[in-house]
Structure 1
Amino acid sequence: MAHTIPAGPVAPGGLRDVFTSCLAAVLGRPNPLRLPPMRHAAVVLVDGLGAEALAARSGHARTLAAASGKRARMVSGFPTTTAAALASLTTGTDPGQHGLVGYSALDPATGVVVNQLHGFDDGSLPDAWQRCPTVFEQAAREGVRAVAIGPRHYATTGFTRSVLRGAEYLGARTIAARFEAWQQVIAGPGPSIAYLYVPELDVAAHAAGWRSPRWTEHLEAVDAAVADCIAGLPAGAGLVLTADHGILDTSPDRHLFYDIVPGLLDDVAAIAGEPRCRQLHLRAGADPVAVAADWNEAFGGAVRALTRAQAIGEQWFGTVDPHVEPRIGDVLVAATGRWVLLDSRRPKGHGMIGQHGSWTSAERIVPLLRFGAAAS
């Protein structure tokens, strides 16, 4: 399948290369992003900030827009969902290696679909579910201070423990306070890497859409915080701003209810993934090729359904480790356009406006903005 990338320069690699490049730059080593040597490097991850949305609201983000020059965008990866993307960022690997293959996934050991953002807290998932060492752990071995800065309530979650393993977590309530916390880190002794997490835009988009005043207000807050921060950056400190995924606004007329199609779920034992990309785990003896064909026929051009073998062959999840493969659905159903795949019997979440998880450029293309030493 050819996945269309919008016109204009797009940096090579993806999220897996961003944090690893920052650590390499602090260590004075070559790196995929070609960042110059620096003493302090930070990655600002603005959850849900797609490059297309940023361009459309550039008048509200003049500092970010000014940095949106050549090679200031990149492909985030697949699936375009937070659990998978953040693990790719902090481990330097693709979902097929670290094992977080969607918003939810089937645990092959139990046959239960587990939420990969919250399952570490309720005991559904062991810490080892995320299979790869983190960049923070590597930094510690290299004598580099590693910190993660985000909302206080994320400090002790299981997901934080899994994907930010090895980082010193600094809680800060507001967007501006997170940047201030990083400035205190770089004022200290020794080299450092940092991760600053901004979830506010994603939360606003899910509730009200990225075109909403609420989303725009958060974008303005990010822009102001970046402007204030870079105005006082010392020599040798660099900042890279990116996102885990973009987002698109949906509406009730784009809801596809798969449970009301006669016979469509007959061979389906469990459904994982997210509304923009469902992962179907089939009953024993069911034919994935036939099931994929049924879903394609049921929804026409609104989806692309294919088998796990096809998705792996097309590198949807990168190189897939044999231990991770059973977590991926036997059939994947990726929505096109602004369509969303829902179960009418489970109305929770049907009112969510902003959605992501599939292949559109609005979901996949994210900013890659460099400031301070990182822009040299």
Structure 2
Amino acid sequence: MFNAPRYGTGSLADLLPSVLAGFGVPGETDRLGLGIAADRVCVLLIDGLGASALAANPGAAPFLSGLASATLTAGFPSTTATSLSSLGVGVPPGEHGIIGYLVRVPGQDRLINTLRWSPHGEGPRVDLRSELVPEQFQPTATVFERAAAHGITVTQVAPSYQNGSGLTRASLRGCAFRDSFSVGDLIDGIGIALRTGTRSLVYAYHADLDTTGHARGPASDAWLLELAHVDRLAAEIAERLPPDAALLVTADHGMVELDERIDFDHHSELRAGVQQLGGEPRARHVYTEPGAAQDVAAAWHEILGTDFAVLPRAEVIDRGWFGPIVAPHIADRIGDVVVAARTAHGIIRSGAEPIQSMMIGHHGSLTPAELDIPLCTFRS
């Protein structure tokens, strides 16, 4: 079963514009009806925390489960680089242009890993920030830039590898950056940042739940234990909030465990007519040979059956998966054929993507387990 992203009324892209409306920033509207008017707000993003997984495990997360909560949707694909861009820019993927994990940029013959801002493939990792300038690839002003322009002190508290990264420069720019080296340092850094300036907005990121889900699966004991740590992390932050502050806890996507893997690298019928395979196992961008898109779509539909939606680019755009607006230069980044998993299946590449192919937990598609994310609110 698929859900539709609720762009404009209930998606991750609507969260920070709604927060800015609470700060009284001109031109911003409270799209989510948060009704939060506070001088200090922290948005804590827990990578990989799906709404259904949180709801199913209240004993592991008593603090978060006890908060006032709502369910938002990520966008499509439900993957970290796309979701963080939707959060940071405040618009759907069709407008910010980070439309997947691995994408082909028109004019280049290679796939770009948008999370690492590097070419995909074998060989040493190459930094593309000078060649593929992040601020040009995604030129729309971020929510953080808009906040800073109106006198709000904005801070990102996150691991040091995100400081100045291509994705940060593209979609999360406009913040002062505070490195976090541990959970304790993250908690302390949030508290310090919240007390900076007369009005402050803090965006904080925590990755361990997602890492555990990929490696052990979101149904594992390890994942539940990590969820308990995440819950305590949120409670510790809440206990240390300054007066008249708000904590909003959300996520970028949920996760599912695969029960069947179709290996593109060992399936000649799937490879026929395909130049490059982007995206990730649950949501693939299929870039075809010139004139081959229709034949490729027909072949993939016949081979994959009802376990996957196999749609041409134009139909995906018409369905609004990437948002109500898709700029022409961004449409060119979308696969000629887009494939999204309906069931617990995935299209792996054991040769080209060996580590990803071995992962237990995956995300990217439009099923509720992947698309629905929590929004938990705490006021000091």
Equivalences for 1:104-253 in 2 at 5 Å? 104-119=102-117, 122-123=127-128, 125-127=132-134, 128-251=136-259
1:67 aligns with 2:73: no
For 2:115, give the aligned amino acid: L
Corresponding residue for 2:31?
Answer: 32
The alpha-carbon deviation at position 312 of structure 1 amounts to 0.2
Q: 2: CA distance between counterparts of 1:144 and 1:68?
A: 26
Cα 1:218–1:285, aligned 2, differ >3 Å: closer, same or farther?
same
Corresponding residue for 2:348?
Answer: 342
Cα distance per residue 1:297-340 (max 9 Å; x no partner): 10111211000000000011111001101100000111121101
Corresponding residue for 2:318?
Answer: 313
Check conservation: 1:19, 1:90, Cα contact below 8 A.
yes
Deviates more, 1:113-122 or 1:55-64: 113-122
The alpha-carbon deviation at position 275 of structure 1 amounts to 0.9
Deviates more, 1:127-136 or 1:311-320: 127-136
Which SS does the other structure have where 2:294 is aligned?
helix
Which SS does the other structure have where 2:164 is aligned?
coil
Deviates more, 1:343-352 or 1:177-186: 343-352
1:359 aligns with 2:366: yes
The alpha-carbon deviation at position 68 of structure 1 amounts to 5.2
Which SS does the other structure have where 1:280 is aligned?
strand
Match 2:84 to one of 83, 86, 102:
86
Equivalences for 1:4-15 in 2 at 5 Å? 4=3, 12-15=9-12
Check conservation: 2:158, 2:180, Cα contact below 8 A.
yes
Corresponding residue for 1:330?
Answer: 336
Corresponding residue for 1:3?
Answer: 2
The alpha-carbon deviation at position 289 of structure 1 amounts to 3.0
Q: 2: CA distance between counterparts of 1:283 and 1:180?
A: 52
Cα distance per residue 1:250-272 (max 9 Å; x no partner): 24xx0112344443322111111
Which SS does the other structure have where 1:221 is aligned?
helix
Corresponding residue for 1:41?
Answer: 41
Could you tell me the TM-score, scaled by structure 2's length? 0.90
Check conservation: 1:76, 1:366, Cα contact below 8 A.
yes
Which SS does the other structure have where 1:242 is aligned?
strand
The alpha-carbon deviation at position 344 of structure 1 amounts to 4.1
For 2:328, give the aligned amino acid: P
Deviates more, 1:13-22 or 1:303-312: 13-22
For 2:57, give the aligned amino acid: R
The alpha-carbon deviation at position 12 of structure 1 amounts to 3.6
Corresponding residue for 2:94?
Answer: 96
For 2:273, give the aligned amino acid: D
Corresponding residue for 2:17?
Answer: 20
The alpha-carbon deviation at position 65 of structure 1 amounts to 0.5
Cα 1:11–1:321, aligned 2, differ >3 Å: closer, same or farther?
closer
1:52 aligns with 2:52: yes
Q: 2: CA distance between counterparts of 1:215 and 1:156?
A: 30
Count the aligned residue pairs: 363
Cα 1:275–1:192, aligned 2, differ >3 Å: closer, same or farther?
same
Cα 1:166–1:200, aligned 2, differ >3 Å: closer, same or farther?
same
Cα distance per residue 1:14-55 (max 9 Å; x no partner): 011111111221227751122321101111110000011112
Check conservation: 1:308, 1:330, Cα contact below 8 A.
yes
Deviates more, 1:55-64 or 1:124-133: 124-133
Which SS does the other structure have where 1:159 is aligned?
helix
Q: 2: CA distance between counterparts of 1:320 and 1:130?
A: 13
User: What residue ranges of structure 1 are gaps of 5+ in the alignment?
Assistant: none
Task: Give the fraction of aligned pairs with identical amino acids, expressed as a percent.
Answer: 36
Which SS does the other structure have where 2:329 is aligned?
coil
Cα 1:213–1:176, aligned 2, differ >3 Å: closer, same or farther?
farther
Cα distance per residue 1:229-280 (max 9 Å; x no partner): 32343332111111000011124xx011234444332211111111111111
Q: 2: CA distance between counterparts of 1:60 and 1:216?
A: 6
Check conservation: 1:99, 1:131, Cα contact below 8 A.
no
Check conservation: 2:17, 2:29, Cα contact below 8 A.
no
Which SS does the other structure have where 2:178 is aligned?
strand
Cα distance per residue 1:39-98 (max 9 Å; x no partner): 0111111000001111222201100011155xx111111100001000000000111111
Check conservation: 2:48, 2:255, Cα contact below 8 A.
yes
The alpha-carbon deviation at position 11 of structure 1 amounts to 11
